[in-house]
Amino acid sequence: MTPAQELPGSDEALRSLLAYLREHSYEFTPVTPLTHARVLINRGGESAEGVRDIFGWSLPFEAKALPASLMEALLQGQWLDGEGNGFFRSRVRVASLEGDLFLHSAFPAREADAVFFGPDTCRFVTLIRNNLPANRLDAPLRIADIGCGSGAGGIMAARMCVGADVTLNDINPQALRYAAINAAVAGLQVTLAPGDALEALAGDFDVVLSNPPYLVDETERAYRHGGEGPGRALSVKIGAQALQRLNPGGRLILYTGVAMVEGVDHFIRELKPFLGQTGCTYTYSEIDPDVFGEELERPAYRHAERIAAVGLVAVKT
């Protein structure tokens, strides 16, 4: 494990970018990929008119749109792609949420190591805010964000529980890279733990947070592919592992999506035995009954009626 503040020199350009955007009161709420694509179609191939277009909508821009020093730093860090005719396109996007800025991958996120930030992230952070226990003064909470992506969940927890021991985990090195920068610019001390979920961490925790990928992705991109089920296998695995790694009184806060088959939620059905074995009480609810409906057109979902966003909060009594 490594402290998040120990950043490679090439990432200083991204820190400078976030500082610049913060100084200019940047705000951008990411949308689903389908909505993003529709917005770009409506704009009819326009080039960027400001920083929201550059780092939010991933539109091409001219060098004069940014300060020369920032432009040079981003070019040297290889964070910009040349589009020809004097235009460039950013390889990163920046989202704003609850006063913090979060680096993630540019649109469209096709790369195997892409890092995604969207409406699910916003709903996940809301679930955390509504269910995170108060920090203890005598023994600060030990918190793990499993599959952290941009680090939004863990950073929210660190903001709410000042002094907590917060670990950000992801199997994707690029995710940890962005999460480290996001935490550093937010002024928060966190620990990075690369590897496969809780298998990469030692000991037990007071809080485990997780927003696992839950869709079926043929190329198995880390930010999107949830495995068999369709798509629920990873969420079941992380949930089962986390329940066994909670301290007494500890809690799991898990946000995911479930493909409902003939009205049956197989995710909570498969997780209930682990909830019983570990002596946990829990609340479980549908946060949104219908997300990513376009996925139902794909063969993997031929038996699914809908995909629901759900939230599980389990407490070890």
Output the DSSP codes for 205-265. EEEEEE----B--TT--TTTB--HHHHTHHHHHHHHHHHTTEEEEEEEEEEEEEEEETTB-
Mean pLDDT in order along the chain per 10 residues (317 residues): 53 96 97 97 95 98 97 96 94 97 96 96 98 87 98 97 96 97 96 96 97 95 94 97 97 98 97 97 98 96 97 97
Q: In what order do the strands lie in the sheet with 87-90?
A: 61-62, 87-90, 80-84
Helix (H) or strand (E) holding 73: helix 68-76
Residue 5 is predicted with a pLDDT of 47
Backbone φ, ψ for residue 295 (5° rounding): -65, -25
Buried b (16+ CB within 10 A) or exposed e, 97-122: beebbbbbbbbebeeeebbbbbbbbb
d(CA 291, CA 97): 21
Token duo for residue 89: 């396109």
Q: Looking at the domain that runs over 112-316, which CATH code has it been given?
A: 3.40.50.150
Domain with CATH 3.40.50.150 in the chain: 112-316
Sign of CA dihedral 301, 303, 305, 307: negative
Retrieve residue 176's tokens: 């940890």
pTM: 0.94
The three-class DSSP label of residue 148 is coil
The full 3-state SS of 158-218, as one line of letters, equals HHHCCCCEEEEEECCHHHHHHHHHHHHHCCCCCEEEECCHHHHCCCCEEEEEECCCCECCC
Q: Could you tell me how far CA 50 lies from the centroid of its own chain?
A: 25
Is the distance from CB of 172 to CB of 105 less than 8 angstroms? Answer: no
Q: Which two tokens stand for residue 15?
A: 């820190």
Per-residue model confidence (pLDDT) at position 2:
57
Question: How many CA atoms, within 13 angstroms, populate the side-chain half-sphere of residue 46?
Answer: 12
Distance of alpha carbon 105 from alpha carbon 113, whole angstroms: 9
Categorise residue 243: left if φ over 0, alpha if ψ from -120 to 50, beta otherwise.
Answer: alpha
Pick left, alpha or beta for residue 132 (phi over 0 → left; psi -120 to 50 → alpha; otherwise beta).
beta
Phi, psi of 38 (to 5 degrees): -65, -40
Structure tokens at 12: 């200083």
